[in-house]
A and B are shown apart, each in its own frame.
Chain A
Amino acid sequence: MTSLATCDRLTVRYPGAARPALADLTLALHAGEKLAVVGESGSGKSTLARALAGLLPVGTALSGAIRWSGPPPRPGRDIGTVFQDPGASLDPLLTVGAHLVEGLRAPLPLGRAEARARAAALLARVHIPDPERALAAWPHQFSGGQAQRIAIALAIAAGPHLLVADEATSALDVLVQAEIVALLRELCRDAGMTLLFITHDIALAGTLADRVAVLHDARLVEIGPAARLLAAPREPYTRALLAAQLDLASPRLVGTRP
């Protein structure tokens, strides 16, 4: 199994912060896999996503290294990112079409008309009904789930080989969450994309991912195949996380592993 990227003793400290947001993290991301990173808020899981996607704010201190198997990736072209709140990650003043045309033309040498034609196809690919009409609509006219589909269409516009989903389902209700998870699974399967799935929901991570990494207090606690990690966690923290989740767990609404 070839690795797409390797974090080697990666430490990230935000400007003005007393403690690092990510400390001494060593982790490999395999090409084509679905890796879920689980942790509570402040565990550093989103920092890991942003470090990989090249989205850390200016002035962030980075030590250690991220090694890529190929040339350093460019955001948009090689890595697509989906954020937590679809309402906030779309510019309220631009139509869906304008978003897609801009997102397509940034990494790809496309004319306006060409980009427009591809935009409709992208919306169809994430199962937005009536793509032509959706292109002319504004972000606020869509439900959270639909808006997240549009955000996903934007993230995969240039055909990246890595998709980073940063709490991409956390703001949605359970049923919509399941739909988005199904969509992510379908897109990864069809395009052979690698998925980095950031979530606080260890059960959800288990149903979607091939491997699960658990982060706590800026450090990697445990990493392993999803089935093994959920069935027989090695670390006490993972057990505690699972126990806390199971207390809350109602009957499973999210689809089972294929």
Chain B
Amino acid sequence: MPRLLRRVATRLLGSIPVLVIVVVGVFLLLNSAGGDAVDAYLLSIGGGDAQQAEELRIRFGLDQSVTARLALTLAQLARGDLGYSVALNRPIGAVIAERLPNTLWLMGSATALSFALGSALGVLAGRRPGSAADRLLSAGSLFLYSIPNFWLGLVLSVVFAVRLRWLPVSGIETIASGKTGLARAADIAQHLVLPVSALGMIYLALFLRVMRAGMVEAWGQDYTLAARARGVAPWRITLNHAARNALLPLVTMLGLQAASMLGGSVVIESVFGIPGFGRLAQEAVAGRDGPLLMGVILVSALMVVAANLLVDLAYGALDPRVGGPR
């Protein structure tokens, strides 16, 4: 176990310089903008005089030099303080903590769905490469892979929410329904069906393709031939040897897609009106709220680092050749 802990610690320490690059890069980008949050804020409340603007700038430290503010920002973030949002007039950490669960539910469900279905269908396609099932699934996955998620979300909501009225159109739960416990969970699950499908479909297609490619690779390896030579049943070779080995590249892919899925949830949350972390990014852009945008980007980067760490640990547990916890 200490070995495992050490590996986690090394990985996290190694990601610190990368996170610093992220912060500095985003800071410089945001500071190259003309106009700041104070301008946007004053505009949004119907204007204000120069003195008011000056006061606000001093209050939020916007009157200091770029390097001084960068140093301040880095020090503040290192303390775990994400700062204060001018646009929302609240501490950024609190806003993010409030929005994050919705996005985590959305992404977690989409990942689970696409991983489970994608790998299962990938096994089906890769069981016999070139078969009718394979051609159908491969063509279908390419088609799914070409559909923009926000459009798929709109089409799904036209069909299932507007026309058939089976599922709610938007939101994360029925407002002021007074539901608690299981009833509330069911309500949220119902609201998540369409956004999760819209977000997860492209990854389902991707995972199907990766799994299939892994199976094709495995069929070319001696160990599947050797298993045939031992008289092992075909279904057993498929599941116990080919699929098991094909799962490894899929797990790697899972980590690589974490960032892309976070980006996708920005659009999906906007389509389905889910008050999540992704929508917060859009609100920060609309409100020209640099610190908020910085907070959103930094927390996303942290989530991606965490996802990759989890994938790394899972890989170590799956592949005995990697120094796992054994």
Residues of A in contact with B (beta carbons under 8 Å apart): 53, 55, 74-77, 79-81, 83-85, 88-95, 102-103, 106-107, 138, 140, 151, 154-155, 157-158
> What DSSP secondary structure best describes chain A's contact surface?
loop
Q: Are A103 and B230 in touch, CB under 8 angstroms?
A: yes
CB distance from B98 to the nearest CB of A (A): 43
**A75-B228, A91-B244 known, 13 other contacts, Cβ within 8 Å:** A55-B228, A75-B229, A76-B232, A89-B223, A90-B223, A91-B227, A93-B244, A93-B248, A93-B319, A102-B240, A103-B232, A106-B232, A155-B230
Q: Are A93 and B231 in touch, CB under 8 angstroms?
A: no
> What DSSP secondary structure best describes chain B's contact surface?
helix
* In the complex, chain B residues 189-236 whose Cβ is within 8 Å of any chain A Cβ: 221-223, 225-233, 236
What are 21 A-B pairs with beta-carbon distances under 8 A? A76-B229, A77-B231, A79-B229, A81-B229, A83-B222, A83-B229, A88-B222, A88-B223, A92-B245, A92-B320, A93-B244, A94-B241, A94-B244, A102-B232, A102-B236, A138-B320, A138-B321, A140-B321, A151-B226, A154-B226, A157-B230
CB distance from B105 to the nearest CB of A (A): 32
CA distance A151 to B227 in the complex (A): 11
CB distance from A154 to the nearest CB of B (A): 6
Q: Are B319 and A92 in touch, CB under 8 angstroms?
A: yes
CA distance A89 to B241 in the complex (A): 11
Given contacts A92-B245, A93-B245, A138-B320, contact A74 B231 (CB under 8 A): yes
Residue from A90, A92, A95, A106 in contact with B233 in the complex, judged by beta carbons closer than 8 Å: A106
CB distance from A96 to the nearest CB of B (A): 11
* Size category, B interface: 20 to 34
Residue B318 at the A interface, CB < 8 A? yes
CA distance A190 to B138 in the complex (A): 51
CA distance A106 to B237 in the complex (A): 11
CA distance A79 to B229 in the complex (A): 8
Q: Are A106 and B225 in touch, CB under 8 angstroms?
A: no
CB distance from A101 to the nearest CB of B (A): 11
CA distance A80 to B221 in the complex (A): 18
* In the complex, chain B residues 33-49 whose Cβ is within 8 Å of any chain A Cβ: none
CB distance from B265 to the nearest CB of A (A): 33
Q: Are A76 and B240 in touch, CB under 8 angstroms?
A: no
| Residue of B with least CB distance to A102 | B232
| Residue of A with least CB distance to B320 | A138
Residue from A55, A90, A93, A94 in contact with B229 in the complex, judged by beta carbons closer than 8 Å: A55
Q: Are B223 and A80 in touch, CB under 8 angstroms?
A: no
Q: Are B320 and A93 in touch, CB under 8 angstroms?
A: yes
Given contacts A92-B319, A94-B240, A138-B321, contact A76 B222 (CB under 8 A): no
CA distance A140 to B326 in the complex (A): 14
Q: Are A75 and B231 in touch, CB under 8 angstroms?
A: yes
| Residue of B with least CB distance to A107 | B231
Collect the chain B residues with CB atoms within 8 Å of residue A85's CB. Answer: 222
Collect the chain A residues with CB atoms within 8 Å of residue B320's CB. Answer: 92-93, 95, 138, 140
CA distance A35 to B226 in the complex (A): 21
| Residue of B with least CB distance to A104 | B230
CB distance from A228 to the nearest CB of B (A): 32
CB distance from A14 to the nearest CB of B (A): 14
Collect the chain B residues with CB atoms within 8 Å of residue A94's CB. Answer: 240-241, 244
CA distance A125 to B307 in the complex (A): 47
CA distance A154 to B244 in the complex (A): 20
Q: Are A53 and B229 in touch, CB under 8 angstroms?
A: yes
Collect the chain A residues with CB atoms within 8 Å of residue B241's CB. Answer: 91, 94
CA distance A73 to B245 in the complex (A): 30
> Which 4 pairs of residues, A with B, have the shortest CB-CB distance?
A76-B231, A81-B229, A88-B222, A89-B222
CA distance A53 to B229 in the complex (A): 7
CA distance A102 to B227 in the complex (A): 9
Q: Are B221 and A88 in touch, CB under 8 angstroms?
A: yes
Query: Which has the most chain A C-beta neighbours within 10 Å: B223, B240, B244?
Result: B223
CA distance A151 to B319 in the complex (A): 20
CA distance A89 to B228 in the complex (A): 11
